[in-house]
Chain A
Amino acid sequence: MIVSHDLGVWLAALLTLFIFSFLYRDNPLYKFAEHLFVGVSAGYYVVINYWTVIDSNLIQPLRAAFGGHPEGGPWHASLGDYRGWLVLPGILGVLLLTRMIGRISWASRWALAVIIGVYAGLKTTGFAQGDLVAQVQASLNPLLIPGDLWASFNALLFTVGLLSSLLYFFYSREHRGALGWTSKIGIWFLMVSFGAGYGYTVMSRVSLLIGRFQFLFEDWLHLR
């Protein structure tokens, strides 16, 4: 058996085993790996956000606007080219950091307001167009498909499932009588859906374990 001679692969394998040791019980090796992971992750996120966003989308364009004598001057803006105006998000970014300083932490709300406003707008229209309109539109299908009994049955079943599940989420009236038994059917469909979701979740989790074992067997121990 020829194991890996790469120091990095050994480190990765050991840290993998440290984390797996939690399955036996909580222990210092796991705690060490856990804390190292949180620290390194946070550090890496800071680095990647600094160089690929703060530097590339803010500092470099500002430098070009004020240092490069661009045509039209530093404050001339057009769609996609905001030059000196990028100072504004820069200031907002710095204001966000005031959250760390108790007395002036209220200033971070300005930056937060911009983020919340942008995402409230984007999400409202995105969900309206992408989910609500498109999904309702896709549900308006013929129930009877001539010459295809199986497809007709499925179309009918789908519609019953959709409507009854929707009615289950209708809380403005007590679920009694017709609404009661319809929402009961809705629960059955929802349960099938949660069951299917469970099956797929199992698949995901097992895949991740397979991936780690493939790393240990192939990259570290060179067993295959």
Chain B
Amino acid sequence: MKREIPLFLTAVIGAVMVLGFFMPHPWISVPADFLQQSAVIVVAFGYVLGGANLLRVHLEAISRRERDWPYRIVLVAGLLGTVSVGLFVDGPGFQAQGARTMWIYNNIYAPMNATMFSLLAFFIASAAFRAFRIRTIEAGLLAVAALVVMLGRVPLGDFLARPLTDHAWVPAWLREAPLGTIQQWIMDVPQNAAKRAILIGAAMGVMATGLRVILGIERAYLGGGE
């Protein structure tokens, strides 16, 4: 029962959603619409579950004095503080100008979110120096495409390449933005062809997985246990 009912639910709901795409009849479209409304609501509860789970994991780690436990207190304080301010101090107007939650968002969440991702600029430079090895034709093609696209996409690339192409025998359409034009060609033709192949392949993979889930062949999402 603990596995069969969820499997049955998934199969019926998945089938209704697929049918809803093809049949606009109210017998299908109304349940499909209701299920989508339900999904929106249940997913929101998923975020609440995520927050609660994070809290539990870190409270347990603090109580056991695990590694970095003082920092975990910062995490728990940040979580509980933000939730308390958002739910009880600000209320439904938490996104209004001047709300305390917006102060937390603008001065703590947003700058740190942006900075975390910006660190990657440094690591990509270091990786370019240490790990980008050209040993085969394939790696050579990858490197040439990377270099042309990287330089052709910014003004300095064209600025540096222009003296090389500023000759009468070079066609006029290539002269203004030599690297930029080649970059655009790479994007439009060879990379686009391969990307489309990946897109088509992935589409078939997702469709197959979707059907396996609906038909109950794929059950990993139910987890272990009975």
Contacts and interface: CB of A to CB of B under 8 A. Distances in A.
B105 A44 contact: yes
A94 interface: yes
Interface string B191-226: 111111111111110110111011000000111011
Contact of A118 (B13, B56, B95, B112): B13
A68 interface: no
B159 interface: no
Contact of B39 (A55, A94, A119): A119
A88 B144 contact: no
B112 to A, nearest CB: 4
B34 A97 contact: no
A35 B14 CA distance: 39
Contact of A158 (B17, B53, B193): B193
A161 B41 contact: no
A84 B122 CA distance: 54
Contacts of B145: 191-196, 198-199
A93 B86 contact: no
B138 A209 contact: no
A99 B202 CA distance: 32
Contacts of A58: 41
Among B45, B114, B201, residue most surrounded by chain A Cβ atoms (within 10 Å)? B45
A53 B54 CA distance: 21
A208 B118 CA distance: 5
A110 B9 contact: yes
A37 B213 contact: no
Contacts of A131: 199-200, 202-203
B83 A125 contact: no
B9 A117 contact: yes
A208 B122 CA distance: 11
Given A135-B200, A158-B189, A16 B115 contact: yes
Contacts of B55: 42
A23 interface: yes
Contacts of A159: 193
Given A22-B119, A202-B124, A189 B194 contact: yes
Contacts of B47: 45-46, 49
Contacts of A34: 71
A171 B82 CA distance: 50
5 contacts: A19-B115, A78-B30, A123-B206, A162-B194, A188-B138
Interface of B: 2-3, 5-7, 9-18, 20-21, 26, 29-30, 33-56, 68, 71-72, 74-83, 86-87, 91-92, 94-95, 101, 103-122, 124, 128, 137-139, 141-150, 153-154, 185-204, 206-207, 209-211, 213-214, 221-223, 225-226
Interface of A: 8-9, 11-13, 15-16, 19-20, 22-23, 31-51, 53-55, 57-58, 77-80, 82, 85-86, 88-90, 92-94, 96-97, 99-100, 106, 109-125, 127-129, 131-132, 135-136, 139, 154, 157-162, 165-166, 168-169, 186-203, 205-206, 208-209, 211-212, 215
- The 8 residue pairs across chains A and B that have the minimum distance between CB atoms: A121-B17, A39-B78, A195-B145, A43-B82, A161-B193, A117-B13, A47-B86, A199-B149
